[in-house]
Structure 1
Amino acid sequence: MKVELVALGVVSIASGVYGWGASGHQTVGYVAMQFLSPKALEFVQTSLGSTYSHSLGPAATWADEVRSQAAYTWSSVLHYVDAEDDAPDSCSVDESRDCADGRCILTAIANYTSRVVDTSLSDTERQEALKFLDHFVGDIGQPLHVEARAVGGNTISVQCNGATTNLHALWDSGMINRLLPGTYNSSATNWANTLVNRIKSGSYSSLAESWISCSSTTEPARRSVEGDILALLHPRADGTLVCPLVWARDSNSLDCSTVFDYTIGEDLCTSSYYTRNIPLIETQIAKQGFRLAAWLNVLFDGATNLP
């Protein structure tokens, strides 16, 4: 699949939403940087250059920054997949049902995975593919980017630290913006370093391997990350990937277990909702950084090369 996804005539109401917010997306990128294999690291640093400090961290917000520009309005629908399930009672993501027109985050990841290693493309085109991958792998870990209910939570008004916001924005940035100042000195790099330590030798170390096994409680393991990418890049590939679908289902499951579980009128940033869900947000950020590194390592080094 080497043809770039083209401009769309209609932009969904969800086009105004933003994935983890700047800090969350940057942290995904900074986590990934610490797990890149040599060839993947060389490509990332060379491709992104000084404009992005040779890092996936600063580059991770680009896709949100350009989506409001006329030249990129077509990309808005690629940041999510509207799971037409029955959350919070029943959660599921079905690509044929939820991405029937072929324009969603699942197909976007497949498209830009192919493009980032396509040497017939220009350096600029491959850099753009890398920046989209950097961002979309982060987005797919946000539970409300894989849920159709209330336009991904955008039409549900909630309170956060005494201010009115919506449920989607609360998960994108509201809870993160409360976490960072007191715990990580308002630094995405500090946050990323802590998450990396948890992956290498802390509370995530026994879980990290399962994050890239392309299996979940709803989807039996059918393909490794290596197998997924090899199948995609095969000359007769149909552009379908297993791993991003599994990751979407993993995130979507939180819509049934916790995202919509709150009392109307309570401040979700100062109540038990925050203390219950902020560890989940941290885990989702760590997962997507680790998965992004695995994805790029297979593309450029042939194996995940992860602990």
Structure 2
Amino acid sequence: MKPAYLAFTLSALVPSVYGWGANGHMTVGFVAMPFLSPKALSFVQTSLGSTYNKSLGPAATWADEVRSQTAFSWSAPLHFVDAEDNPPTSCSVSETRDCSNGECILTAIANYTTRVVDQSLSAEQIQEALKFLGAFMMFLGDITQPLHVEALKLGGNDIAATCSGSSSNLHAVWDSGIINKLLAANYGNSVNTWANTLVTRIKTGTYKSIASSWISCSSITTPVSSRRSIEEDIFDILVLRPRAITPLECPLVWAQDSNAFDCSFVFNFSAGQDLCTSSYFTNAVPIIEQQIAKGGYRLAAWLNVLFDGATNLP
């Protein structure tokens, strides 16, 4: 599918957790903003309005904030996918095995992608869809959090852990414990400063040479000529099978990418080790920063394809 044709096709459709914790989610949103193409940026700013300062950053925590409310309790399972694998021995994500009931991050992304461009919905419903998609892409943010793609011990919630001397659990350490300490130590407790640093790394720094691989939608073992693109994923869900909650390849591949860290690092620590002051913290920080950067970059790519017909990323 050529981007120009996709843009033409989508033009008929488009009008002219707590995964990572609040700080992580907002950073994913802020990272995405500088990479949005013109139509995607206009849609985001118009849809979110002054309530969210016309930015995905402030809106990024909305889905986490409302899922405890009775009206949105149905959305709780959509924040994760319970990979029934066996870390640290073996890691894998399978949509048929891990999301057989159709209620997980992977299907949520497909569903809310269709709703964002559904002209039959009200402005309020479209804003809600964008906030959910932003969250579900922060669910592509959540997907980049290794314990949101893992079932073992409730994604680490039932594994006791220590963070800076305080009792916690492994999931909470990854959602917020390490991030909050990192923000205080290196970024003046500023989410914006952190996001700007990650954006600079993508544009001109250490991530520049690898960022394009973050939006690949096929295994690195797949021949380049056969690799699937975001454009193909979105065209498939919007045009070939409109409004169907159809498995998409990109979110699955990205979930598998994150899940691999559960075997290579996340569960590898000693009993009693303080995960926020030891070598575990030091080695976790580069993983978390890159995963957050991936989430923002992928969110921008997804919205750019929806509204501008191509990823349009450096």
Structure-2 separation of matches of 1:43 and 1:202: 29
Q: Unmatched 5+ residue regions in structure 1? A: 1-16
**What is residue 199 of structure 2 aligned with on the other side?**
196
CA shift at 1:218, angstroms? 7.0
Q: Deviations over 1:161-212 (max 9, x none)?
A: 0000000000000000100012111111100100000000100000000000
- The 2-side partners of 1:271 and 1:136 are apart by 32
1:104 aligns with 2:104: yes
Deviation at 1:222, TM superposition (A): 3.6
SS of 2:155 mapped into structure 1: helix
Aligned to 2:10: none
Superposition map of 1:229-240 within 5 A:
229-236=234-241, 239-240=246-247
Give, as a single letter, the amino acid of the residue that structure 1 aligns with 2:169. N
Offset, 1:236? 2.9
Q: Does residue 218 of structure 2 align to residue 215 of structure 1?
A: yes
Counterpart of 1:241 in structure 2 is 248
Going from structure 1 to structure 2, the CA distance change for 1:232 and 1:37 (only over 3 Å counts) comes to same
CA–CA distance in structure 2, aligned partners of residues 122 and 236 of structure 1: 22
User: Which residue identity lines up with residue 229 of structure 2 in the other structure?
Assistant: S
Question: Residues 84-95 of structure 1: matches in 2 within 5 Å?
Answer: 84-95=84-95
- Matched with 2:58 is 58
Distance 1:176 1:279, change over 3 A: same
What residue is the counterpart of 1:10 in the other structure?
A: none
Deviations for 1:64-99, whole angstroms, at most 9, x for unmatched residues? 000100100000000000000111110000000000
Which residue number in structure 1 is paired with residue 4 of structure 2? none
1:45-84 alignment, distance < 5 Å: 45-84=45-84
Question: Mapping of 1:105-254 within 5 angstroms?
Answer: 105-137=105-137, 138-217=141-220, 222-236=227-241, 239-254=246-261
Which structure 2 residue ranges, 5 or more long, are not aligned?
1-16
Q: Distance in 1 between matches of 2:220 and 2:307?
A: 30
For 1:195, give the aligned amino acid: L
Distance 1:259 1:265 in 2: 15
Give the TM-score normalised by the residue count of structure 1.
Answer: 0.93
| Cα separation, partners in 2 of 1:231 and 1:175, compared to 1, 3 Å | same
- Say yes or no: does 1:279 pair with 2:274: no
| Partner amino acid, structure 2, of 1:197 | T
Contact residue 218 and residue 249 of structure 2 kept, 8 A: no
CA distance in 1, matches of 2:135, 2:24: 10
Q: Which residue type is aligned with residue 131 of structure 2?
A: K
Structure 2: distance between partners of 1:289 and 1:71: 28
